[in-house]
Structure 1
Amino acid sequence: MTHEDWLHRAETLRPVTTHLIDGADEAGGGAAFAVMSPRDGRVLAEVADAGAAEVDAAVAAARRAFDRGPWPRLAPAERGRVLLRFADLLEQHRAELALTVSLEMGKPVTDAHDIELRAVINTFRWYGGLADKLTDEAPHTAPDALALVTREPAGVVGAVVPWNFPLTLAGWKIAPALAAGCTVVLKPSEHSPLSALRLGRIGLEAGLPPGVLNIVAGDGPVAGRALGLHPDVDVLAFTGSTAVGRQFLHYAADSNLKRVWLELGGKSPNIILPDAPDLDRAAATAAWGIFFNQGEMCTAPSRLLVHRSIAEQVTEAVVARARALRIGDPLDPATEMGALVGESHLGRVLGHVGTALAEGARLRTGGARFGVDTGGSYLEPTVFDQVAPGSSLAREEVFGPVLAVQAFDDLDEAVALANATEYGLAAGLWTSDLSTAHLVSRTLRAGTVWVNCYEEGDLSVPFGGMKQSGNGRDKSAHALEKYTELKTTWIQL
């Protein structure tokens, strides 16, 4: 579609603004909050604001649907068919959902359509196909006994997801939980509730019984806290900041000791060695990785570690690509980098830029606000080099299009720099040497290591972090471990 096509669709978009509780639209107690578009600073919609009462109602609906409803008792193949219909309907509404995502969080609509919606559709389709292919165990025991080990759905799942990939990350939690037979209460970010609220209605159309998927919009300190403390929530799955992840662990301890699964922040290193198979491609991928999605990714390769012999060559190539990026209206298909999610987040990222300058890092390009006259929250792609190992820019997650370049002299130093962080979500390595690829991958403390690529993979592989980047895994069959309980049945014959 053209820019004009997307603008016309934006003018006629009528977003869903009410909670989804027990299969019905719920406006709650009448309180509402404004969802602002970072594209131009305008109000997209006034959305019902969930308090403790709305969270209670949503959890009660999920509990009834789990304890007495049909969903956990359906044949797995039937649950799979519903998820496959869900995926088909998401495909039918792809343009509408992509537009909604782009408007509410600022990413280019082309990325929302081609990448985010592809990911969420594939997620529901993958778990729909997996639902009836899980097996239980019958361990070998003594001849006079039969032992069975079965996986049962864990119960009511509370899912709290951020704004940077509002549908993808929701899908990574909802789809495996539903495939396992759980019921779900989803709380999207207050910055991006519109796409999630629409997702819930599509789930009903696909055949989800009332109460199986409930969605409440509200802010973290109220709605998120109420969900985390709720005694009828059996599992809590959260993606977001490390600070908020700690809060959910406290909520679990202060309530019913619910299991809490966390996918948190990152400060991912991207190591380029002189024997990289293609230095131009390595530099291009480094630039793409940090500027894709405006740098608002927990896996963003925000630390570029380059051997000193090639550091200037690689840095110049990254800087050239940063300067050539087209920043602008997310609804323009030619736009390569859109707006940060909002003014407050833009201010935080600019604060990191100021701190880096004060601590002696050298600004190679960017570092300033872009397009002030648009009313949107835009930032130039930013590259620093001469970043000291102990500096804030080397340690703290910026969550924006800001790259820290560090030079190293040998492989041991590279690995030490890469691991010198409290995070352990992802890492990249560029080398032509097979032994180096294996040995370094083993020593990097990260949940995912990409070799001669970045951000590659599919639903068959797990995703998650080490250290303060969290626990548990999204994607793959391993995600079902979060939403099931193992039961042993011992039968004396």
Structure 2
Amino acid sequence: MVTLPEGKLYIDGQLRAAEGGKTYEDIGPWTGEVVGHAADASVADMEEAIVAARRAFDETDWSTNHPLRRGLVAKLGEKMKANRDRLVEIARHEIGSAMGAVYGPQVDSPLGHVDELLKLFDEFEWEKDLGNAEFWGTTSHRIVVREPVGVVGAITPWNVPLYIAVGKVIPALLAGCTVILKPAPETPLINAILGELAHEVGFPRGVFNVVTAKDPATLGEMLVTDPRVDLISFTGSTAIGKRIMAQGAATLKRIFLELGGKSANIVFEDVPDFAQAVGSSIVAFHAGQGCAINSRLLVPRSRYEEAVEILKGAYEAYSKMWGDFDEPTNIMGPVVSARQRERVLGYVDTGQAEGARLIAGGRAAPEKGNGFFIEPTCFVDVTSDMKIAREEIFGPVLVVIPFEDEDDAVRIANDSDYGLSGAVQSGDKERAMRVARRIRTGTLGVNGGTWSFADVPFGGYKHSGVGREWGLEGFEEYLETKAIGIGV
């Protein structure tokens, strides 16, 4: 039985227990058993964090001392790398990550991305000189200055919590903001360790705070509604994102939302290796628990039956290649919780009731163990009006939709409330790029290309969110713009 170290709160420069020493159980997705305990913060604990972050921004030089910020963030990044083994252990046991996913966005990618964000900081233009100009007989010298927004409430999800925490916390700190990190209750420990490492590095009191809690809503809503918090950066479901936007309106705080997706992968008939393009579309990475995963496969009707047969074979082969805790090439383990497992299985029932044809999976997989396992699942004969084609399932479920021609493929891809990611594959690069430019989505891969880099902005259109994370655009989310005119 695995027992991870207990997660503490990090508030006002102190690592400590929650009020009254209250903790809650951290359940491991691989086993369904308790793998650790985390501090269960109270309203009073969050109040202390807000007060500390506000004071650190208003009363210290954190917002203006660029060398201090850069130095401490760089040290934090090195501490994170030195603690990779601990982070890997937490990611595997707490998040349910397979080893193949650990090498990517669960641990290794965010560790490497810290250096890229530091490089962006070093190259950033904090002040722009616009020169002199005349207006009503007066000459003014104009400059534009970038300044931090203030106190940031960063609310992170449970699917890739370290990656998303790095994408919010590091740019916000480098920008000069103070931060309160509120992790999802399902995965508290991998974010709690950031507070521990920041404490070891010697961050000034109140600059960075980590507050974990079992309740999924109360403390997050405190951040959203409190006028002392200037910006909310949230990654999670569209439903919660809408609620945050509504609640934040009363204080006119800046809201960044990275929400759901139902991304389309369009495979044209002229792709050089049709079997590979179709067969590799299995939704398996981290059991489909990713907002930017391509969960709709669009194939030409002229090769539709061929595609269905390819998928049957691909899923049959893959049925023996997932759910192994120790296999380094394995990218699919369990879903995060019993609740999520039942949610996904509910969508499987809905798909069958809607008339879609299930050609693979569709069941829980108790033979894999006592955790929250679901078979890789594929529906064909799907139409765009079906619930399984329109809603984000957030599980290992692929839906396959035929299209007639290029215009029809674009129409189907865009017939969605979401617009987060997608892919286009064609033997004609010009055709692929033409279609890519017509898809209403924030990120898109063409012919196997990827957009997932620290210097590339990430975010969505429509119900997939507001604003961008990563890249220069993500850094600027945490900055205000001040224009100054100086009389000459």
Q: 1:370 aligns with which of 365, 370, 374?
A: 365
Q: 2:24 aligns with which of 33, 57, 64?
A: 33
Please tell me whether residue 463 in structure 1 is matched to residue 458 in structure 2. yes
Q: Distance in 2 between matches of 1:380 and 1:460?
A: 35
Determine helix, strand or coil for the equivalent of 2:444: strand
Asked if structure 2 preserves the Cα contact closer than 8 Å seen for 1:275 and 1:432, the reply is yes
- In the other structure, the counterpart of 1:5 is none
Query: What residue identity is the alignment partner of 2:302?
Result: S
Residues 404-439 of structure 1 show CA distances to partners (whole Å, capped at 9, x for unaligned) of 001111111111110111001011100122331222
CA shift for structure 1 position 373? 7.1
- In the other structure, the counterpart of 1:297 is 290
Please tell me whether residue 47 in structure 1 is matched to residue 38 in structure 2. yes
Q: How does 1:129-208 map to 2 (within 5 A)?
A: 129-135=119-125, 136-142=127-133, 144-208=139-203
Q: 1:99 aligns with which of 89, 96, 107?
A: 89
Give the paired residue count.
479
CA shift for structure 1 position 204? 2.7
CA shift for structure 1 position 341? 0.3
Q: 1:489 aligns with which of 472, 484, 487?
A: 484
CA shift for structure 1 position 74? 1.6
Please tell me whether residue 259 in structure 1 is matched to residue 254 in structure 2. yes
CA shift for structure 1 position 284? 4.1
Query: What residue identity is the alignment partner of 1:237?
Result: S
Please tell me whether residue 116 in structure 1 is matched to residue 106 in structure 2. yes
- In the other structure, the counterpart of 1:221 is 217
- In the other structure, the counterpart of 1:439 is 434
Q: 1:246 aligns with which of 218, 238, 242?
A: 242
Greater Cα offset, 320-329 or 130-139: 320-329
Please tell me whether residue 311 in structure 1 is matched to residue 304 in structure 2. yes
CA shift for structure 1 position 139? 1.3
CA shift for structure 1 position 217? 0.7
Determine helix, strand or coil for the equivalent of 1:274: coil
Q: Distance in 1 between matches of 2:471 and 2:392?
A: 27
- Unaligned 5+ segments in structure 1 are 1-9
TM-score scaled to structure 1, two decimals?
0.93
Q: Distance in 1 between matches of 2:90 and 2:247?
A: 32
- In the other structure, the counterpart of 1:322 is 315
Q: Distance in 1 between matches of 2:314 and 2:74?
A: 40
Asked if structure 1 preserves the Cα contact closer than 8 Å seen for 2:10 and 2:210, the reply is yes
Greater Cα offset, 399-408 or 219-228: 219-228
Cα pair distance change 1:128/1:207, threshold 3 Å: farther
Q: Distance in 1 between matches of 2:231 and 2:156?
A: 14
CA shift for structure 1 position 361? 0.3
Q: Distance in 2 between matches of 1:271 and 1:124?
A: 33
Greater Cα offset, 382-391 or 210-219: 210-219
Percent identical: 38
- In the other structure, the counterpart of 1:79 is 69
Cα pair distance change 1:247/1:87, threshold 3 Å: same
CA shift for structure 1 position 273? 0.2
Asked if structure 1 preserves the Cα contact closer than 8 Å seen for 2:376 and 2:397, the reply is yes
Q: Distance in 2 between matches of 1:377 and 1:102?
A: 14
Q: Distance in 1 between matches of 2:433 and 2:358?
A: 34
TM-score scaled to structure 2, two decimals?
0.94
Asked if structure 2 preserves the Cα contact closer than 8 Å seen for 1:62 and 1:183, the reply is yes
Asked if structure 1 preserves the Cα contact closer than 8 Å seen for 2:261 and 2:464, the reply is yes
Asked if structure 2 preserves the Cα contact closer than 8 Å seen for 1:154 and 1:182, the reply is yes
Q: Distance in 2 between matches of 1:54 and 1:323?
A: 50
Residues 93-123 of structure 1 show CA distances to partners (whole Å, capped at 9, x for unaligned) of 1121011012112121342244422211122
Q: 2:117 aligns with which of 119, 124, 127?
A: 127
CA shift for structure 1 position 200? 1.8
